[in-house]
Amino acid sequence: MPTNKPGYMKAYRQAQAAGQKCPLCTCGKQLKGKLSKERLTCSLCWQKSDEGKAETLRRVREHRRKQTQEKEPKSLTMSYPYASKIKVMLSIGYSGAEREDFISPKDSSYTESEWNALTEQEREDWVIKEADEWAQDYIEIDFAVVKP
């Protein structure tokens, strides 16, 4: 997972001290991180972009690949009624800090024949995109200044 290298805030403060202007995202947020600066997009706008969505697909696939390496590969080859229950999981890496829900191709615009005609890859892409949108509803990032 690409992350900002430690020290990017120090670099930001040095640039500020040198009187350099911080570049802005189209939404108005300051672009402080290395990745944000390279993309000229803040992380929130990035997630919503086509490239950001493609990156989410890659990340989830990579995660699933690692998870299933020593187990039976999870297959989405299933009939439409059975596929009406796809469990989606959101985790921040701590035990217990997980959220589960079910998504269904019946809730999408797919008819049964359209769903059955999809390839395994297309089904997986659909599930990941749906799961990503579902997850966004639970992700909220905020901050507060705490006095020592």
- Contacts with Zn ion, residue ranges (CB under 5 A): 25, 27, 29, 42, 45
Between 25 and 90, name the residue whose CB sits nearer to Zn ion. Answer: 25
Between 25 and 88, name the residue whose CB sits nearer to Zn ion. Answer: 25
Q: Please return the burial class of 59, using the count of CB atoms within 10 Å of its CB with bins 0-12, 13-18 and 19+.
A: middle
CB of 70 to Zn ion, least distance (A): 39
User: How close are the terminal C-alpha atoms of the chain, in Å?
Assistant: 32
**What number of CA atoms fall less than 13 Å from residue 134's CA on the CB side?**
19
Between 5 and 48, name the residue whose CB sits nearer to Zn ion. Answer: 48
CB of 144 to Zn ion, least distance (A): 21
Spatial separation of the C-alpha atoms in residues 51 and 28, rounded to whole Å: 20
Between 40 and 117, name the residue whose CB sits nearer to Zn ion. Answer: 40
12: which 2 tokens?
């930001």
CB of 128 to Zn ion, least distance (A): 23
Asked if 36 and 125 count as a contact pair (C-beta separation under 8 A), the reply is no
CB of 46 to Zn ion, least distance (A): 8
